[in-house]
A and B are shown apart, each in its own frame.
Chain A
Amino acid sequence: EDKPVVGLVMKSLANEFFQNMLEGAEAHAAERGDYELRAVGMQNETDFESQINAVENFITQGVDAIVIAPADSKAMVRPIKKAIAAGITVVNFDVSLDADAKKEQGLELAFVGPDNRGGAKMAGDALAQALGEGAKVVIIEGNPGADNATQRRLGFEDSVAEYKLDLLDSRTAHWETEEANQVFSTMLTAHPDLQGVMAANDSMAIGVVKALENAGRDDILVVGFDNVPAVGPMIEDGRMLATVDQFGQKMAADAIDLALEVVAGGPELEGWVKTNIELVTKK
Chain B
Amino acid sequence: MTDHTTNTPNEGISMHRVIERIGIHNISLLVALVGLLVIFGVLRGDVFFSTRNLLNIGMGVAILGVLAISQTGVIVSGGLDISVGSIVGLTTVATAMTIQATDMAGLGLLAGIVIGGLAGLVNGLLITYGRINAVIVTLGTMAIFRGVAFILSNGQSISIFNDSFRWIGTGRILGLPAPIWVLIAVAIGFYTFMHKSIVGRNYYAIGGNPIVARLSGLKIPNYRVAIYVVSGVMAGVGGILLAARTGSGQPISGSDGLELEAITAAFLGGCAMQGGRGTVVGALLGVAIIGVLNNGMILTAVPTFYQMLAKGTLLILAVFLAEYRLNKN
* B298 and A187 contacting across the interface, CB-CB below 8 Å: yes
Given A172-B304, A186-B295, A230-B157, A214 and B245 touching (CB < 8 A)?
Answer: yes
Question: CB < 8 Å: which of A19, A176, A215, A229 contacts B52?
Answer: A215
Q: Which chain A residues border B245 with CB–CB below 8 Å?
A: 210, 214
Interface presence of A171 (CB below 8 A): yes
Interface presence of B221 (CB below 8 A): no
* A169 and B301 contacting across the interface, CB-CB below 8 Å: yes
Within 8 A of B (CB), among A5-44: 13-14, 16, 19, 22, 44
Q: How large is the interface on A (under 10, 10 to 19, 20 to 34, 35 or more residues)?
A: 20 to 34
A178 vs B159: C-alpha distance in the bound complex, in angstroms? 17
Within 8 A of B (CB), among A167-210: 169, 171-172, 176-179, 182-183, 185-187, 189-190, 192, 210
Within 8 A of B (CB), among A120-139: none
* A189 and B301 contacting across the interface, CB-CB below 8 Å: no
A169 vs B307: C-alpha distance in the bound complex, in angstroms? 15
Question: CB < 8 Å: which of B47, B60, B159, B250 contacts A182?
Answer: B60
A-B contact count (CB 8 A): 63
Interface presence of A236 (CB below 8 A): no
Q: How large is the interface on B (under 10, 10 to 19, 20 to 34, 35 or more residues)?
A: 20 to 34
Interface presence of A87 (CB below 8 A): no
Q: Max chain B CB contacts within 10 Å: which of A22, A190, A192, A233?
A: A190
Nearest CB of B to A244, in Å: 20
Residue of B at shortest CB range from A192?
Answer: B47
Given A214-B245, A215-B56, A14 and B255 touching (CB < 8 A)?
Answer: yes
A169 vs B24: C-alpha distance in the bound complex, in angstroms? 41
A13 vs B251: C-alpha distance in the bound complex, in angstroms? 11
Nearest CB of B to A1, in Å: 30
Interface presence of A213 (CB below 8 A): yes
Q: Which chain A residues border B60 with CB–CB below 8 Å?
A: 182, 185
A192 vs B46: C-alpha distance in the bound complex, in angstroms? 11
Q: Which chain B residues border A230 with CB–CB below 8 Å?
A: 157, 159, 248
A15 vs B254: C-alpha distance in the bound complex, in angstroms? 14
A213 vs B157: C-alpha distance in the bound complex, in angstroms? 18
A171 vs B299: C-alpha distance in the bound complex, in angstroms? 13
Nearest CB of B to A196, in Å: 18
Interface presence of B294 (CB below 8 A): yes
Q: Max chain A CB contacts within 10 Å: which of B252, B256, B299?
A: B252
Nearest CB of B to A137, in Å: 15
A14 vs B304: C-alpha distance in the bound complex, in angstroms? 24
Nearest CB of B to A136, in Å: 14
* B255 and A182 contacting across the interface, CB-CB below 8 Å: no
* B155 and A13 contacting across the interface, CB-CB below 8 Å: yes
Give 1 or 0 for each of B233-256: 1 = CB within 8 Å of chain A CB.
000000000000110101011011
* A214 and B59 contacting across the interface, CB-CB below 8 Å: yes
Interface presence of B7 (CB below 8 A): no
* A189 and B47 contacting across the interface, CB-CB below 8 Å: yes
Task: Offer 19 A-B interface pairs, CB within 8 angstroms, sorted by A.
Answer: A13-B155, A14-B252, A16-B157, A177-B252, A178-B256, A183-B298, A185-B56, A185-B60, A185-B295, A185-B298, A186-B295, A189-B50, A190-B298, A192-B52, A214-B59, A214-B170, A214-B245, A215-B52, A230-B159
14 other A-B residue contacts (CB within 8 Å) besides A189-B52, A189-B53, A210-B245: A14-B252, A19-B156, A44-B255, A172-B304, A178-B253, A182-B298, A185-B56, A186-B56, A186-B295, A189-B50, A189-B298, A190-B300, A192-B52, A214-B170
Q: Measuring CB to CB, which residues of chain B are less than 8 angstroms from any residue of chain A?
A: 44, 47, 50, 52-53, 56, 59-60, 155-157, 159, 170, 245-246, 248, 250, 252-253, 255-256, 294-295, 297-301, 304
